[in-house]
Amino acid sequence: MQVEQLYTGCLSEAAYFISSEGEAAVIDPLRDVDTYINMAKEKGVTIKYIFETHFHADFVSGHQELSKKTGAPIVYGPLTEARFPIHLAKDGEEFTIGKLKMKVLHTPGHTLESTCYLLNDENDKPYCIFTGDTLFVGDVGRPDLFSGNMTKEDLAALMYDSLNTKIKTLDDNIIVYPAHGPGSSCGKALGPETFSTIGAQKQGNYALQDMSKEDFVKTVTEGLSTPPVYFPINARINKEGSVGLDEVMEKGLQPLSIAAFKEKVKNGVWILDTRPATVFTEGFVPESVSIGLDGRFAEWAGIILPFNQPLVLVTEEGKEKESVVRLARVGIDNVQGYLEGGFEKWKNAGEEIDLVIDIEADELAMDIPHDTRLEVLDVRKPNEFAAGHVKGAVNAPLDTLTDPLNVAMIDIDNNLYVHCAGGYRSVIAASLLKRQGYHNLRNVLGGYSKIKAVKNMPIVTPTQEAV
């Protein structure tokens, strides 16, 4: 028996590959399914089942692609309504994988169709449970995502029943394998680990403590942030079906000459630059949007980029395929090619370039007392801003800067010093502001982690006045 977690940090997503005696199953596959097909070939096993824990909202699943290429059926739990062929499993139904047995545990709450899968080992003893977005390490799935007319309170009440009748009754030594880890927006505050045990979660997970249903509903539903804008789009794609990834790759991996690239842009195609933030600021094609592959690329692409907007890419050499694949993971399928030779070829050809000025945090501290037009633009999330910020800073969360009405509130004549927590989001923000005509920009290197360490920096925290 082998149980392997395939974790994708960019999306905080975990897929699983289970194999025994020549047979295998895949749980919650990503869209680029060749990984699972190649694993099966290397192990000499046949993929027998594809199990989906629910309709995912934060990525486009590879269930249909993998089924098409392997012939394996797609298994969903009760109450699933899909627009493609599935095996609609019953609560308690069992599936064999070699000498292993997979049992369906319908656990509505995150969504109506949410289902966990309990795996019994070769001795028919419960070994692990794949909990999807029902149970995370230290958290549970948010109950406010796309389940018809049900309120988040309705779904939280269902989750309470699911946890108490299906999860908490399991033996403490059973391994918990969730669909997501830290950083995921599918919960409120996921723990740092990507797996755990039932016993550890009974002790440390706030949602598994003894409480009334009323208290549970209140606890789980309060403090939820607004879900990323691409979540309903991805949920719909997973329910209705998607274009084959091979077709997306063929269209996206078209090398474009400078002339062809410029023609695309002239016709309204956006430029996405996937080079690292520190490289982008030193020079880029004007009007490019920066989202570096070195950060939470797919998530921010889904939040920032309009899904109906055609794109062309500027990438580091050899990163073209990775860029297209990682965009496709969140349903962005409209890449129309990449700049052949990259930015260096563009620059060497004498084409116009733009840049963002980088400054150190101590330079910001020196400029604050002397520049009356200086404005600190903090693009972190509101909860990050509330925990501590530069005195007088404006909180403009990155995900709000695609709205022209929000951007219009920023004075174009001010000298904008843009920062985030570490330097990744601030460069995305700077590129968006540049596209909208803001050019008096400074990007603060290292973000708030560097800013708060500077002596004499005026900082405001919840427990103290500005110092």
Residue-wise pLDDT for 196-208, tens only, equals: 999 999 999 999 9
pLDDT band with cut points at 50, 70 and 90 for residue 225: confident
What pTM, to 2 d.p., does this model score?
0.92
Q: Centre a 10 Å sphere on the Cβ of residue 26 and count the other Cβ atoms it contains.
A: 30
Q: What's the CA angle centered on 254, arms 296 and 247, to 5 degrees?
A: 75
Architecture (CATH level 2) of domain 357-460: 3-Layer(aba) Sandwich (3.40)
At 117, the amino acid letter reads Y
Task: Give the pLDDT confidence score for residue 467 in this predicted structure.
Answer: 43
Cα 207 → chain centroid: 23
Q: pLDDT per residue over 18-65, tens digit each?
A: 999 999 999 999 999 999 999 999 999 999 999 999 999 999 999 999
Task: Give the pLDDT confidence score for residue 189 in this predicted structure.
Answer: 84
Task: Give the pLDDT confidence score for residue 425 in this predicted structure.
Answer: 97
The residue that leads in pLDDT, 162 or 466, is 162
Element (H, E) at 419: strand 415-419
The domain spans of the chain are: 2-233, 243-348, 357-460
Architecture (CATH level 2) of domain 243-348: 3-Layer(aba) Sandwich (3.40)
Q: pLDDT per residue over 37-47, tens digit each?
A: 999 999 999 99
State mean pLDDT over 175-187.
94
Which of 228, 353, 245 has the alpha carbon at shortest distance from 300? 228
2-233 and 357-460, same CATH topology? no
Task: Give the neighbor-by-neighbor strand order of the sheet with 94-97.
Answer: 94-97, 100-106, 115-120, 126-132, 175-178, 196-197
- Alpha-carbon span 34 to 47, nearest angstrom: 12
Query: Domain 2-233 falls in which CATH fold?
Result: Metallo-beta-lactamase; Chain A (3.60.15)
